[in-house]
Amino acid sequence: MEVFFADDSKQDGKREGMGKIISVGGLFLEESRIRALTERVGEIANRFGIPRDEEIKWSPQKGAWIYSNLTGPKRAKCYSQILETAFDLDVRAIVIAWDTGRTSLKGEKAVEKCLHFLFERIEVHLTTRKSNGIIVADRPGGGKKQEDKLLANFLERTQKGTEYVVPKNIVLNILTTPSHLVIPLQVADLITGITTAMIAGKYKFAKPHFSLIRKMLIKNSSGTCGGTGLKIFPNNLINLYYWVLGGDMYWRTGMRTGISLPITSYPYASDEFK
């Protein structure tokens, strides 16, 4: 059994023409390794003086202990050790990102679309691994009404699937819980937040960590993660796979065809910010 711990991220894009980037992503973890990740991250947090009730987040709010007390190189070192621990425990990741500046979908509608594509990739991954799985997500911030909507939408996917993916391996509707109580959800926040920052062009703090996250992203049959472990919408942002992931080929696995990157007719062909 594998558990997918899911979180979301919202960040303003720095690249020309970008709006707010809305992402949903997280990490797969074998059930037998959940306790190990929890204990090892707890030990790292303790070494850096993080209080037990403090939530580890990529973008901590003002007033949080981490925001005020774990800054600069010290925070970078702490987060690097957490991600290294996750990598050592064979964590695998998926992040779906949506540029609201180039589509009419905003807010909850964009999140729902990301969940749609996340569901497909989770199912395909579990099928490839010949494993069943469940999804644990951070409780939505909009209260019970928003939580009920999330659960209803995802329940429909687990029962009916999507246009391309038949539901088979996700054995329960999505489970929600406050992320400050579950360390793997906090690691999912780091993975999703760092990856979203890379897409948005906010490299300063994210880039030193992303090389490790890139290794965790699930891959397709061609051995690449563009469009699989990392999916960016709309599709004309395909050149960002070249800049963010460093690969010069994008594989359409369903068609078994590869496309050389960057594509001159799409955004960010010769300059990753323009």
What would the pLDDT profile of 173-219 be if each residue is shown by its tens digit?
888 888 999 999 999 999 999 999 999 999 999 999 999 999 999 99
Say how far apart CA 28 and CA 188 lie, in whole Å: 9
Whether the per-residue pLDDT at 148 is higher than 70: the answer is no
Flag the least confident range among 103-107, 130-134, 242-246, 247-251.
103-107
**Residues 152-162 pLDDT 10s:** 566 556 666 66
Q: Which of 273, 268, 266, 261 is nearest to 226 (CA)?
A: 261
Whether the model pTM is above 0.85: yes
**Residues 93-117 pLDDT 10s:** 999 999 999 988 777 778 888 888 8
How distant, in Å, are the alpha carbons of 50, 66, 94 from that of 202?
A: 25, 20, 19
**Spans of all domains in the chain:** 2-260
User: Fold for domain 2-260?
Assistant: Nucleotidyltransferase; domain 5 (3.30.420)
Enumerate long-range contacts of 66-70, CB under 8 Å, 24 or more apart. Answer: none
Say how far apart CA 114 and CA 175 lie, in whole Å: 17
